[in-house]
């Protein structure tokens, strides 16, 4: 699927890059934020796609102007090609402090390892050429050390695995009710308990969100669809809520 410009003005651009996943790979979105010519790449993906993502990125931004690579959590569809990105760009990486030494297992060269910065559990602000991006705590959605990014200019919330859909042929959610079938299985099994959805929904309602952009599948655009998703997810029992009786011998 082709790339989608989610937001654009004279000095700011948010791009959902083309989806290059194929075969057995879980399809994953790579997002790029550009502000005044400097960039941040979110969840860059694994080895099979890194050269295509790199060339797509290069069409928008000189790789030398990539300042940050954000890793929402430690899954291989996010961090597997970290070494490539540190070798090919001057960007710093950002990941939960829980996962720093796990990323090293994907083979991050000693020369560049120091460029991976850890995000404290409570999150932080991050300056991208004058815009303050919020790195928001979203732990246990689904990873134990997990963050989302809120961009106050585009009003996009980059939600990582939250809101993820698999196997949809569209890039923008047009009708939330019919989209539910593409998200309910994932949100029931990969997430730990409804309590975290409730806490997240409370946080999300404090933000002015125009778009929720997950790491997999279609994007929720417009306040109506965004609010439909928030209202839906905070009422979804999941994980331990529905699996307590699995804790028995088979």
Binding site residues, Fe ion, CB under 5 A: 75, 161
DSSP reduced 3-state for 217: coil
CB 27 within 8 A of CB 215: no
Quick one: 167 exposed, middle or buried, by C-beta within 10 A (0-12, 13-18, 19+)?
exposed
Task: Spell out the alpha helix ranges (H) of the chain.
Answer: 50-60, 76-79, 82-88, 100-103, 110-113, 176-189, 194-204, 223-233, 240-243
For the bound state, the minimum distance from the C-beta of residue 47 to Fe ion, rounded and expressed in Å, comes to 17
CA dist., res. 192 & res. 29, Å (int): 23
**Closest-approach residue to Fe ion (CB):** 75
Q: Of the two residues 45 and 123, which places its CB atom closer to Fe ion in the complex?
A: 45
Q: Of the two residues 75 and 210, which places its CB atom closer to Fe ion in the complex?
A: 75
Q: How far is CA 229 from CA 173, 216, 224, 240, in A?
A: 10, 15, 9, 21
For the bound state, the minimum distance from the C-beta of residue 197 to Fe ion, rounded and expressed in Å, comes to 16
For the bound state, the minimum distance from the C-beta of residue 117 to Fe ion, rounded and expressed in Å, comes to 20
For the bound state, the minimum distance from the C-beta of residue 14 to Fe ion, rounded and expressed in Å, comes to 21
Q: Of the two residues 4 and 78, which places its CB atom closer to Fe ion in the complex?
A: 78
For the bound state, the minimum distance from the C-beta of residue 73 to Fe ion, rounded and expressed in Å, comes to 6
Q: Of the two residues 161 and 210, which places its CB atom closer to Fe ion in the complex?
A: 161
Q: Of the two residues 7 and 147, which places its CB atom closer to Fe ion in the complex?
A: 147
């Amino acid at each position: 699927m082709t790339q989608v410009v989610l937001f654009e003005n004279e000095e700011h651009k948010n791009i959902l890059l083309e989806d290059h996943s194929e075969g057995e790979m879980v399809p994953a979105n790579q997002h790029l934020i550009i502000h005044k010519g400097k960039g941040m790449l979110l969840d860059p993906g694994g080895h099979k796609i890194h050269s295509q993502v790199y060339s797509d990125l290069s069409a928008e931004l000189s790789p030398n102007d990539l300042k940050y690579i954000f890793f929402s959590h430690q899954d291989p569809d996010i961090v597997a090609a970290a070494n490539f990105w540190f070798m090919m760009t001057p960007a710093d990486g950002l990941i939960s402090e829980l996962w720093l030494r796990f990323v090293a297992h994907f083979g991050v060269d000693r020369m560049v390892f120091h460029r991976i910065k850890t995000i404290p559990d409570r999150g932080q602000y991050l300056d991208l050429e004058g815009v303050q991006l919020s790195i928001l705590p979203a732990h246990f959605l689904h990873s134990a050390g997990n963050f989302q990014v809120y961009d106050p200019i585009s009003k996009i919330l980059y939600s990582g695995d939250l809101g993820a859909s698999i196997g949809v042929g569209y890039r923008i959610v047009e009708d939330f009710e019919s989209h539910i079938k593409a998200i309910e299985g994932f949100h029931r099994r990969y997430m730990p308990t409804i309590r975290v959805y409730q806490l997240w929904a409370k946080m999300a309602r404090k933000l002015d969100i125009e778009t929720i952009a997950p790491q997999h599948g279609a994007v929720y655009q417009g306040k109506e669809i965004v609010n439909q998703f928030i209202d839906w997810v905070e009422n979804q029992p999941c994980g331990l809520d529905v699996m307590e009786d699995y804790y028995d011998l088979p």
